[in-house]
Amino acid sequence: MKLNKMNILFFTRTMKLGGTENVILQLCEVLKPYVNKIIVCSCGGVNVAKLTEMGIKHYEISDIAKKNPLVIIRTLFKLHKIIKIENINVIHSHHRMAAFYAQFVSKNIIKLANAHNTFRDKKKITKMAYKETRIIAVGEQVKKNLVEFFELQEKQIKVIYNGIKPFIDTIKPIKEFETAKQKGYLIIGNVGRLSEQKGMEYFIDAAEIVCAYNPKVKFYIIGDGEDRKILEERVLRKNLKNRFYFLGYRSDIQNVMSQTDILVLSSLWEGLPLTPIEAFSVGKTIIATAVDGTIEIVKNEENGILIPPKDSKVLAEKIQWMIDNSDKKIEMEQHAQETYEKSFSFHILADKFLEYYREL
């Protein structure tokens, strides 16, 4: 099918804040000049406004994670109506349940699905969701998970790495960071959703260890999520209220990262995380847990440091090591920038997806 004949539906759970949502926005930008039409369907979120700015129509439906039979039936009817009204001929899912729904409404429609993460649950429903579907895995570890755990055919999976745009804006000072730096503090940051996956409690525990013997460091979490209250209470219990801060959601992640001294990714599992790529794009190295797709980006003691997940003691040791070894840190930062430019830049992602769509 020719690109200019394509009416694409990007189907996902939400357009809230997150890596999957960012990828959808990127794909809209990449494909919009070449295809006839792009539509996005989700239960909504703050990024709907960005779609509107781009001239992309958004249809709001119920949360596809809901299991109420009546909600499922209504959603299927609405989805079928959207496909008919918009004359959709390509449906590109970005959530397992979106791919599952697509099986019931996509007769004579090309089915694509992005696999953004690794999972070890819902085996039967996942296999059904990806039946006769072309899958784009965001990394080799995600592909391996699909083949080995879900027993999908390797031939239906293509790996296309995530990528992001370079940071070309003028740095906008972060008031909290400036105040801390003026008093001689180093800034240790962790960017991510406040949820179980991101392992923020281990970051807090590591902060307690470092703060016990280093009086000149402050820790910051940049992000928001369902576990915020629990994590804030953990900080208070550990008497870190003057050394540990929650900045909440920020839309200028690269700007924030560029003003930190050390960045951490404490995830328990990942697909292919955007956080190290964002860090590398602004010339920052990172201390990251050696899980899933993270190891495809971060190479230990080359462009970053890899540590075991759930190990606050080792994380604390590596934070202090990076503070004490500035020469090695600078060397890793140079390699981090090179890694971004060689493998994870936006133009590489754009070229790969355009090539993929042209071959449909």
How would you classify residue 232: left for phi > 0, otherwise alpha for psi between -120 and 50, otherwise beta? alpha
Residue 261: predicted pLDDT: 98
DSSP state at residue 198: G
Side-chain-side CA neighbours of residue 234 (13 Å): 18
Task: Work out the burial of residue 272: count CB atoms within 10 Å of its CB; fewer than 13 is exposed, 13-18 middle, 19 or more buried.
Answer: buried
Q: For residue 306, what pLDDT is reported?
A: 99
Quick one: tokens of 224?
A: 């928001």
Pairing verdict, β 134-137 and 157-159: parallel
Token digits of residue 18: 């997150």
pLDDT for residue 52? 97
Do residues 287 and 266 touch, judged by C-beta distance below 8 A? Answer: no
**3-class secondary-structure state, position 248:** strand
Instruction: Print pLDDT tens along the chain (360 aa).
Output: 999 999 999 999 999 988 899 999 999 999 999 999 999 999 999 999 999 999 999 999 999 999 899 999 999 999 999 999 999 999 999 999 999 999 999 788 999 999 999 999 999 999 999 999 999 999 999 999 999 999 999 999 999 999 999 998 889 999 999 999 999 999 999 999 999 999 999 999 999 999 999 999 999 999 999 999 999 999 999 999 999 999 999 989 999 999 999 999 999 999 999 999 999 999 999 999 999 999 999 999 999 999 999 999 999 999 999 999 999 999 999 999 999 999 999 999 999 999 999 999
Q: State the pLDDT at residue 170.
A: 87
Instruction: Decide if 3-163+345-359 and 175-344 have a common fold.
Output: yes
Q: How far is CA 75 from CA 41, 57, 61, 294, 356, in A?
A: 11, 18, 6, 35, 29
Give the pLDDT score at 106: 76
- CATH superfamily entry for domain 175-344: Glycogen Phosphorylase B; (3.40.50.2000)
Please report how many Cα atoms fall inside a 13 Å half-sphere around the Cα of residue 38, on the Cβ side: 22
- pLDDT given at position 107: 83
> Which structure tokens are listed for 267?
């995830």
What pLDDT does 290 receive?
98
* Domain boundaries, given as residue ranges, for the chain: 3-163+345-359, 175-344
337 residue type, one letter: Q
As a whole number of angstroms, the distance between CA 321 and CA 302 comes to 15
Contacts of 300 (CB under 8 A, 6+ apart): 290, 306
Superfamily of domain 3-163+345-359: Glycogen Phosphorylase B; (3.40.50.2000)
Instruction: State whether residue 260 is helix, strand or coil.
Output: coil
DSSP state letters, 121-184: S-HHHHHHHTTT-EEEESSHHHHHHHHHTS---GGGEEE----B----SPP---HHHHHHHHTT
Report whether 146 contacts 116 (CB < 8 A). Answer: no
For residues 274 and 270, what is the distance between their CA atoms, to the nearest angstrom? 10
Alpha-carbon distance of 347 to 216, in angstroms, equals: 40
**Could you tell me whether strands 134-137 and 37-42 are parallel, antiparallel, or unpaired per DSSP bridges?**
unpaired
Distance between CA 98 and CA 233 in Å, rounded?
35
Which pLDDT does position 112 carry in this prediction? 98
pLDDT of 20 reads 93
